[in-house]
Amino acid sequence: MQEEVYKIMKGLEKFYSVMAAINTFVGKVCGWIIFPMMVLVFFEVGMRYIFGAPTIWTWEFNTQLLMVMGALAAGYGLLTDSHVRVDVFSKLLPFRGRTILNVVTDILTVVVIAWLTWFLIKEAVSSTLSLEHSVTAWAPIVYPVRIIVAIGFILLTLQAICNLFKNVTSLFVRETPKKDVITSGAAS
């Protein structure tokens, strides 16, 4: 019996580390998207106020870059526990109480994010099949962005599942970790 549990735990640890590696790589690469976004804003401001010739494409392209960056980096944010959280009351709970609270919120998180991911996948498929374009004057194709956003949410869902499994596993650990703070999703 213990051997099967050991194998399951090793498999879960492998899953955690693979997801952590993927989300870390993708999240750090996404951090570099901010630079072309800054260049585009600088370019647009220059075109608008210096040359009096604003473009019709820069703000929309910047918005698409922001969607890509936000969606792909969300899993990394969950992994590193850098999302905003209000922990006024949970700080008062003992380790086990916080762990139980995290399990409950992780279950809700997985359900909501998985539902949203399913919706985004359906939208990406529909957009791709119709070769969807934006309805703006520039009218760029949008299905690649929809596909990337769906992929980002798949990574976010998998990271949320990792967090849930880690918190459920820590319920069965008898000793309190050295750090008296649960960092749901922190890289292990």
Tens-place pLDDT, residues 31-84: 999 999 999 999 999 999 999 999 999 999 999 999 999 999 999 999 998 888
pLDDT bracket for residue 120 (50, 70, 90): very high
Q: Tell me the C-alpha distance between 117 and 167, whole Å.
A: 22
Which residue in this structure is represented by tokens 């309190």?
Answer: 176
pLDDT bracket for residue 175 (50, 70, 90): low
Strands (E), 95-142: none
Q: Tell me the C-alpha distance between 174 and 93, whole Å.
A: 17
Q: Which two tokens stand for residue 80?
A: 């590193």
Is residue 133 scored above 80 in pLDDT? yes
pTM for the full model? 0.84
Looking at the DSSP bridge assignments, the partners of residue 133 are 141
pLDDT bracket for residue 174 (50, 70, 90): low
**Mean pLDDT computed over 122-145:** 95
Q: Which two tokens stand for residue 18?
A: 């693979």
Most confident of 10-14, 139-143, 181-185: 139-143
CB 122 within 8 Å of CB 154: no
Least confident of 5-9, 128-132, 181-185: 181-185
Which residue in this structure is represented by tokens 């909501």?
Answer: 112
Above pLDDT 70, what percent of the chain?
91
Q: Tell me the C-alpha distance between 177 and 180, whole Å.
A: 6
CB 165 within 8 Å of CB 12: yes
pLDDT bracket for residue 181 (50, 70, 90): very low
Which residue in this structure is represented by tokens 């955690």?
Answer: 16
**What is the phi/psi pair of residue 185, to 5°?**
95, 0
pLDDT bracket for residue 187 (50, 70, 90): very low
Q: What pLDDT does 176 receive?
A: 53
Q: What pLDDT does 41 receive?
A: 95
Cβ neighbors of 168 (< 8 A, separation 6 or more) are 103
